[in-house]
């Protein structure tokens, strides 16, 4: 079940969660993971590509697009102030292009000890604030997880940061040793799976893992993690359609509307 209650620890669960939506809101989708901000990572290379990606996102039903550029030490050394400046410029360009979509800035941070420095400097562009904790996307390596990862996540939570664990279905360690992922969900970390995993784009194993997480009720959000216009295009609608073959419509919509709303609310 895509419900914030199903995996957040008691201290993070809101006292009242209103999952009632009107007809218009039911059709709205929030995509919390994308690489559309141009020229900052391995996502959109140019302004034209970024604008076309947003147009495609709108066509798939996305009403709010969160831009989450990589922060990966030694590879994508993005700085918060620069990203905020680029975001402000891009917002103006989107308005000029008359693309009707809400934009927010966040980030996808690769797990490493350097995160502690970012926290000390308030240098992580966060998606929102949930129950007093700043939310951001936390990425693990594709194969392994670093030694001491659980201690770092505990430290982040103690510092009032709530990491959202992205695409765990594609991490080989989490797949082989699910107890390592369970440690994170037990601490209250939400899980975000990728639309492309649900449609088999990353292979059978990733698809099966994503489906298992859904059926076990451990998924908080489905997102596109789009990077371009072809192989990693905006395709949240396709992921939602695949998820609806597994879960009923209201629970799937929680993964792209109600829970993402909670995780991206700006205080």
Ranges in the chain, pLDDT < 70: 1-27, 267
Q: Is residue 243 part of a domain?
A: yes
Q: What is the pLDDT of residue 75?
A: 81
Residues 32/221, Cβ–Cβ less than 8 Å = yes
Q: 172-228: per-residue pLDDT in tens? A: 999 999 999 999 999 999 999 999 999 999 999 999 999 999 999 999 999 999 999
Q: Is residue 224 part of a domain?
A: yes
Q: Is residue 65 part of a domain?
A: yes
CA within 13 Å, CB half, 154: 6
pTM as predicted: 0.90
CA within 13 Å, CB half, 99: 25
Q: What is the pLDDT of residue 266?
A: 87
**Structure tokens belonging to residue 53:** 């990606």
Range of the domain at 208: 4-14+25-264
87: domain CATH number is 3.20.20.140
Q: Is residue 19 part of a domain?
A: no
Q: Is residue 170 part of a domain?
A: yes
Could you tell me how many residues make up the chain? 267
CA within 13 Å, CB half, 48: 0
Q: Is residue 20 part of a domain?
A: no
Q: What is the pLDDT of residue 2?
A: 55
Q: Is residue 81 part of a domain?
A: yes
Q: What is the pLDDT of residue 27?
A: 65
Token pair 């695949």 is found at: 242
Taking the C-alpha atoms of residue 166 and residue 171, their distance in angstroms, rounded to an integer, is 10
Q: What is the pLDDT of residue 74?
A: 77
Q: What is the pLDDT of residue 17?
A: 28
Number of domains the chain is built from: 1
Query: Where are any strands of DSSP class E within the chain?
Result: 29-31, 62-67, 70-71, 102-105, 108-110, 128-130, 133-139, 161-166, 191-194, 221-223
């Amino acid at each position: 079940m895509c419900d914030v209650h199903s995996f957040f620890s008691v201290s993070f669960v809101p006292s009242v969660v209103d999952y009632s939506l009107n007809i218009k809101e039911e059709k709205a989708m929030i995509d919390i993971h994308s690489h559309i901000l141009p020229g900052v990572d391995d996502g959109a290379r140019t302004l034209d590509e970024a604008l076309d990606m947003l147009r495609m996102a709108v066509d798939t039903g996305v009403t709010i697009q969160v831009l989450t550029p990589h922060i990966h030490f030694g590879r994508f050394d993005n700085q918060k102030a620069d990203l905020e400046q680029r975001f402000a410029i891009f917002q103006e360009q989107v308005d000029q292009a008359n693309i009707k979509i809400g934009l927010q800035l966040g980030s996808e941070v690769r797990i490493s000890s350097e995160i502690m420095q970012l926290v000390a400097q308030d240098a992580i562009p966060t998606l929102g604030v949930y129950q007093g904790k700043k939310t951001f996307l936390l990425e693990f390596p594709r194969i392994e997880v670093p030694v001491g990862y659980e201690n770092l996540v505990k430290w982040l939570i103690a510092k009032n940061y709530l990491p959202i664990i992205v695409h765990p279905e594609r991490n080989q360690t989490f797949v082989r040793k699910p107890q390592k992922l369970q440690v994170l969900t037990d601490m209250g970390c939400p899980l975000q799976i990728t639309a492309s995993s649900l449609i088999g784009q990353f292979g059978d194993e990733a698809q099966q893992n994503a489906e298992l997480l859904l059926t076990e009720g451990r998924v908080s959000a489905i997102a596109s993690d789009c990077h371009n216009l072809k192989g990693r295009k905006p395709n949240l609608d396709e992921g939602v359609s695949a998820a609806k073959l597994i879960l009923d419509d209201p629970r799937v919509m929680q993964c792209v509307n109600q829970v993402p709303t909670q995780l991206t609310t700006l205080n």
